[in-house]
Amino acid sequence: MRAVLVLICLAVACGGCSRVADGFATVPSARVALYPELRATGGKFASGVLLTPGEIRETAQLPGLRVGQGVDAMFRSTTDATECAPGYSLAEVAAYEKYEAARIELHVEETEVARLHTVGNAVVTFSDDVTARQQFQRFNGLMARCDAITSATHTEKDPSSWRLSVTSADTADEVAWTRSVIDSSWTCYMAARQRANFVASSMFCTHGSDNKAGDVLNRLTLKLAEAR
């Protein structure tokens, strides 16, 4: 009986994924109530809130991925002089004015001479769903002005220049974008989605056009919908 109930829940959670923006299936606003609020304790989330390494490898179809960086914070990858800093990664401090907690986990595949893939997922929480929606709409507004913008990181660790392209934007609850490094084949595909009091996001970096950021985000939001 428990198995039947689980299947029913999955059908309900997935059955509403009918709105598609540039290949990313998104949950209609009527389904937002399916998502419970997320809360961190002492600035940290319970273990397993994000996708496990096995789930990441399966979704990305990259069995060679290994666990990389994991932080209980948002990234600060750029300086204040960087134009369009919110789009540098899947969860940047510059993206939101106020948030309560964050968790980012990255997984990497590399050889002795080069990075082949970086795959990440993240969650950022706010005090309530109203604040989350307001902050995400602000982020979407920032990203809308960054389409086709070329910027630079302005740090010693990463002096590269890169170009942002917003591939889909829905000021209600979703945005997807790419960051392509100038004079390189390295491209990061990213997507973010607001649900309840949190924003879930994903990143898929590779040399080429194989974009699985939407697949990772879909699996993450489904997992968060089941976290009751």
| pLDDT for residue 33 | 61
Least confident of 5-9, 41-45, 126-130, 200-204: 5-9
Backbone angles phi, psi at 155, to 5 degrees: -125, 155
* CATH number of the domain where residue 148 is located: 3.40.1000.70
DSSP 8-state code for residue 211: -
Beta bridge partners of 124: 102, 199
Domain region containing 42 = 2-225
Q: How many domains does the chain have?
A: 1
**pLDDT tens digit sequence for 32-62:** 567 899 999 998 998 899 999 999 999 999 9
Please list, in sequence order, all residues whose beta carbon lies within 8 angstroms of the beta carbon of residue 176, skipping any fewer than 6 positions away.
21, 22, 24, 166, 167, 168, 169, 189, 190, 191, 192, 213, 214
pTM of the model: 0.82
- Pairing assessment for the beta strands 174-181 and 66-71 based on DSSP bridges: unpaired
Residue from 28, 187, 62, 195 nearest 123 by CA: 195
